[in-house]
Amino acid sequence: MTRIVAIGEAMVELAPAGDAELYRAGFAGDTLNTAWYLRQLMPATDAIAYFTAIGKDDISARLLAFIRAAGLETGQIAQRDDSTVGLYMISLNNGERSFSYWRGQSAARRMLEDDTALRAALQGADLAYLSGITLAILPQDARGRLFDVLRDFRQAGGKVAFDPNLRPRLWPDPKTMTDTVMQAAGLSDIALPSYEDEAGWFHDTTPAATAQRYREAGAAVVVVKNGPKQVIAVTPNRSFAVKPSQVANVVDTTAAGDSFNAGFLASYLQHGDLETASIAGADLATAVIQQFGALVTLDQFTQHRISGRPL
């Protein structure tokens, strides 16, 4: 049995619901999106846990119920009296989406005030999954605690997968972002960067340069996503490139990278083949961007095709 723990922030999402002033509340967040897809792709006997902190108010209870209903383990999610969950709102302007965030006081920022709960969550786990957003929302001392926990987890045989998911708006300055991300890369076994973000902040001139930088930082497996262009995957023994299928009608690219990561990890953890896993990641992202919203429910045939999950 495989056990995966995704660590991060789940938020309330307010999305336009037709009328200009009408919004629908949902839940999403980069690491939650990946956990959601992993749950659909991994065999039912495997466990996928989500680790975060939330409040004790009604919306926090609804978020917790949502995460549970998705089949994710929630046993180590702390519920705090002093804060609630973050919120973001999607605005549509002539078909273009823009986002506003209210997350400054979110409980998730405090999920590592002490490390007891995370250590308990990772007990016996095979893979910890986190992103640059997980790091960005934490105060510096909490980031240090997270790195210590990950170091011990790897020492005990666990693997770490990391999507740098660069969001400069969340960081105090670009240097803190790039330094912290590369520190995390040094604690990662699998790095899943997106070339366009990386090129802007690390000045990589090619996706291969991005892969090389993460390999040199210590990640054994690096998969560089690049929108509709080819994905490159590099390990100590081999490298491989796959071109995502062309999508004529891209409806909504939200969660393209998050779903890619889930498709890749689900396949790689089960079959250990870089090529099959890269194709699985691209396949899932292709399906997701042809529908609205971050979280798309997959039918069992798609689950089977992408990750080999038993029908």
Give phi and psi for 71, each to the nearest 5.
Answer: 90, 15
What is the full DSSP assignment across 37-66?
HHHHHS-TTSEEEEE-EE-SSHHHHHHHHH
User: Any contact of residue 285 with ligand AMP (CB under 6 A)?
Assistant: yes
**Among 244, 265, 295, 307, interactor with ligand AMP by CB under 6 A:** 244
User: Any contact of residue 250 with ligand AMP (CB under 6 A)?
Assistant: yes
Q: How many residues bind ligand AMP (CB under 6 A)?
A: 17
**Among 16, 26, 186, 227, interactor with ligand AMP by CB under 6 A:** 227
**Among 76, 84, 180, 226, interactor with ligand AMP by CB under 6 A:** 226
User: Any contact of residue 225 with ligand AMP (CB under 6 A)?
Assistant: yes
User: Any contact of residue 263 with ligand AMP (CB under 6 A)?
Assistant: no
Nearest to 143 by CA among 184, 95, 195: 184
User: Any contact of residue 276 with ligand AMP (CB under 6 A)?
Assistant: no
Nearer CB in complex with ligand AMP: 121/222: 222
Q: At residue 41, what is the residue type?
A: L
197 among known catalytic residues: no
- Which residues, at least 6 apart from 106, have a Cβ–Cβ distance to it below 8 Å? 9, 11, 83, 84, 85, 86, 137
What's the min distance (Å) between Cβ of 150 and ligand AMP?
A: 23
User: Any contact of residue 194 with ligand AMP (CB under 6 A)?
Assistant: yes
**Among 253, 293, 302, 308, interactor with ligand AMP by CB under 6 A:** 253
Q: What does the DSSP 8-state code read for residue 175?
A: H
Directed axis angle between helix 256-271 and helix 274-288, to 10°? 150
**Among 189, 247, 275, 304, interactor with ligand AMP by CB under 6 A:** 247
H-run or E-run covering 90:
strand 87-93
Q: Tell me the two tokens of residue 53.
A: 């902190």
What's the min distance (Å) between Cβ of 253 and ligand AMP?
A: 5
Cα 190–300–30 angle (5° rounding)?
Answer: 40
**Catalytic residue set:** 258
Residues forming contacts to ligand AMP in the complex (CB under 6 A) are 194, 225-228, 231, 244, 247, 250, 253, 256-257, 260, 282, 285-286, 289
